[in-house]
Amino acid sequence: MSINVNPYLQFRDTARAAMEFYVDVFGGEATFSTFGDFGMAQDPAEAEKIMHSQLVIDGTAWLMAADSPASMPLPEASSVAVALFGGPEDEAVMRQQWAKLTDGGRITEDLVMAPWGDHFGMTFDRFGTYWMVNIAGTPQE
């Protein structure tokens, strides 16, 4: 048996746009199911909202998201961040991902050398998701 812990992001009306953005950032293909697909829309105006979306990243990580119906509360802010970690061999790709995540977002810490020897930065993307990005430094021998 294997257990996975993966981010599940909640949006009010932008889950589809956010997940399409994350496809551009990370690659892969997102799947979408609406409340209407499963007859779960209590309000017909919300039938096209996303009940569940999933993006598999490199076959090893899943990013999931949904729209919260108007009848359900949606926290305005959270202390949760999505962490994106990679090694020195991933630096070029991760810098491209960082550039996309920060485009239209708000950087809270620039992606710079951290005291522990890695490049580290924090940002809110254009959809309000908080990201921590860490690119491991070259190991010392």
pTM value is 0.91
Cα dist from 131 to 7, 65, 98, whole Å:
11, 15, 9
Quickly state the pLDDT bin for 120 (edges 50, 70, 90).
very high
Mean pLDDT value across residues 126-138? 94
Q: What's the CA gap between 26 and 94, in Å, rounded?
A: 9
Encoded tokens for 14: 């932008």
The per-residue pLDDT for 54 is 97
- Sorted by where each starts, the structural domains of the chain and their CATH numbers stand as 8-67 (3.10.180.10), 82-135 (3.30.720.110)
pLDDT tens digit sequence for 4-51: 889 999 999 999 999 999 999 999 999 999 999 999 888 888 999 999
Residue bearing the bigger pLDDT, 58 or 119: 119
List strand residue ranges (DSSP E) for 14-103, in order: 30-34, 50-57, 61-67, 82-86
